[in-house]
Structure 1
Amino acid sequence: MSAASTTQLVACAHGTRSVQGQQVIAALVADLRRLRPELTVHEAYVDVQEPAVATVVPERVPSVVVPLLLSTGVHVRYDIGAAVADRPSRAADPLGPDPRLADLLVRRLREAGADGADHVVLAAAGSSDPAAATAVREVLAALRARWDGPVEVAFGAAAQPSVPEAVQTAREAGAARVVVASYLLAPGHFHSALDRAGADLVTAPLGPDPVLAQIALDRFDHALLG
């Protein structure tokens, strides 16, 4: 029996009070089960919602915790790290960076009606972890390679510039229309704040979309090999 057939997957999201956000994560977990029906998939969270990841990771059965998060940070390093410590489990990499996320961002921009004449602000949640900032910069570079028009990055918290600051700077520089590209997984507190940033358009978050489950399963497989 292979390791893949005996190892369980713990899909660990941040958690949100937004009903729409909860539905997006539920759809992502459902996609995981649909794409890999032979795999046991558990749902867990690091904040706001239950069950907490530390209570879900099996004590004796091998498992891989896949962060349903777009970059590393305190939740990956400490919450998930503590949950797998002293257990036959390991933590996978978060969903980002990944070129498929840049493709999804382009799709969301087009769905919102954006075009190359617009000034795009890539809006990430933000983190004090330098590795998270590096990951976002990789996604920024990938989006710039795919989008005909100016693209800058801004953050919801813990990093600069803020999204409202980036929107204002673009307007002062003469942008006719400013579009915020939401680099967020699901509706919730940070995505709601984007609507108040002063942009002309705000894209939908990345989820729901089956590609997110495909990335998560790739992270699971890579962790098994690693």
Structure 2
Amino acid sequence: IVRAWKAIKGQGFTSASVVLCSGEKSLVTPDFVDAQLGETLPRRFDDAGIGAALPDPSEDGTLYLMSNSTVQLLARARRRLSRDEQSFTGDLGPALGPCRFSMRSAAITPKNHLATCCGFEVQGNEVLDLGPIDSESDAEAKLRKAGDDVLVTALSRFGPHFLREVARKLAPEITFDESCRSMCEICEDTVTRPEVVQVLRRHADAIAATILRMDEECM
């Protein structure tokens, strides 16, 4: 990290960030990284996991910061780590609302697929993986098409908790991981499970009608 950080300084990038997830038992923490770099980087998130205002660019024109997320039990971590290794145990409120990253922070996977977000590994996911791309115009077209997808729209407007609760009502026989502590954990427990997605797709028209009704109630 230190060598890479020194190599990118002053190279004309718009932004550069150290992306770090840490928990109560982590040895590599934001403070540890600061000590290794010899500077204190602005934090992207506060102690409650809420996004802070972005700092101004430095004198060389690049915005430098640390994306200091907490440890989340996603993918292999769900099988290998225990809940006491996750540092965030507070209010679930922020995890129950709309996903501010879905479609607004699209990402390209290592295999050159366009994903609606960068929350967890979504390669091959029926909802979040928009497929391979070969040009900027292709990516833009796929994003426009994804904007018409009811489930993607629901994630952006109301979040994965909304979809999980819809699936729970439609198929009460499906059980969910009630220990989820973050939005990404709730999302993974919802959209990566074929039986859940199948139920949601089967009732897409009803979900779309619910979204429209909720929009009208908010007006």
Fold-level similarity (TM above 0.5): no
Which of the two has greater strand per residue?
A: 1
Does 1 or 2 have the higher relative contact order (CA < 8 Å, sep 6+)? 1
Return the TM-score normalized by structure 1.
Answer: 0.28
